[in-house]
């Protein structure tokens, strides 16, 4: 699994010299949907790498070093909000994606919502008006797995799992999965 992550990261950062449109879209097919969103996705993937690096660094020392873990925790909160918004935007443009890819992002949106709702709205997902305790830490620590447990403290989610799932889903996107640009979803609704 580590090799797969390394391969995806290497693909993202590989410098293309005078690339053709096909080479650009092969590396970043999300550009065909939205140049802006592709940039936000690249930022989220970079933040994801920084979170993992901080977790590995903080949980490696004996005793553990809480400073990089705390930084990873802060970044994870921002990452969760951003990742949810990117995926929500994509899900709203359902007709712009293949059915197979839409199912993947829809499932991912649900996982992200499970982490986001307790952290951003301070309420349980799907239970409007039922609060999550506000007298708590932002996340739990899974020391053996060098992980953050995010979302509802009564039913936490692995931060590493969310980061990896996001990367896997977005890395599975191909140019063939994109049926139309982002604006098409709005133009269709407005009759233009």
The larger pLDDT score, comparing residue 84 to residue 155, is at 84
Tokens 């929500």 locate to 88
Listed in sequence order, the residues at least 6 apart from 168 whose beta carbon sits closer than 8 Å to its beta carbon are none
Cβ-based burial of 65 (10 A; exposed 0-12, middle 13-18, buried ≥19): middle
Listed in sequence order, the residues at least 6 apart from 105 whose beta carbon sits closer than 8 Å to its beta carbon are 87, 90, 91, 97, 169
Compute the 3-state secondary structure of the chain and give helix, strand, coil in percent, each to the nearest 5: 65, 5, 25
For the cut 60, the answer to whether the pLDDT of residue 191 exceeds it is no
**Contact in structure between 5 and 53 (CB atoms under 8 Å):** no
For the cut 90, the answer to whether the pLDDT of residue 62 exceeds it is no
Give the whole-angstrom CA distance, residue 104 versus residue 85: 15
Using 50, 70 and 90 to split pLDDT, how confident is the model at 19?
Answer: confident
For the cut 60, the answer to whether the pLDDT of residue 67 exceeds it is yes
pLDDT of residue 8: 59
Tokens 């797995």 locate to 145
pLDDT of residue 3: 46
Kindly list the domain boundaries of the chain, sorted by start residue.
31-190
pTM: 0.85
Q: What is the mean pLDDT of residues 38-43?
A: 95
Radius of gyration of the chain (CA): 18
- pLDDT one-digit tens code per residue, 117-174: 767 666 666 667 766 666 566 788 899 999 999 988 788 899 999 999 999 999 999 9
The larger pLDDT score, comparing residue 116 to residue 84, is at 84
For the cut 90, the answer to whether the pLDDT of residue 15 exceeds it is no
pLDDT of residue 192: 46
H/E stretch holding 149: strand 147-150
């Amino acid at each position: 699994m580590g090799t797969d992550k390394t391969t995806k990261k290497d693909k993202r950062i590989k410098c293309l010299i005078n690339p053709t449109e096909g080479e650009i879209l092969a590396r970043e097919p999300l550009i065909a949907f939205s140049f802006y969103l592709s940039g936000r996705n690249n930022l989220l993937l970079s933040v994801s790498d920084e979170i993992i690096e901080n977790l590995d660094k903080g949980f490696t020392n004996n005793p553990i070093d809480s400073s990089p873990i705390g930084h990873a925790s802060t970044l994870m909160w921002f990452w969760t909000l951003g990742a949810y918004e990117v995926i929500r935007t994509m899900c709203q443009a359902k007709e712009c994606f293949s059915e197979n890819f839409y199912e993947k992002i829809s499932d991912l949106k649900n996982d992200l919502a499970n982490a986001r709702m307790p952290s951003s709205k301070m309420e349980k997902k799907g239970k409007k008006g039922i609060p999550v305790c506000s007298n708590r830490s932002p996340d739990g620590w899974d020391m053996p797995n060098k992980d953050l447990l995010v979302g509802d403290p009564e039913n936490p989610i692995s931060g590493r799992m969310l980061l990896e799932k996001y990367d896997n889903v977005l890395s599975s996107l191909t140019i063939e999965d994109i049926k139309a640009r982002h604006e098409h979803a709005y133009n269709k609704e407005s009759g233009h």
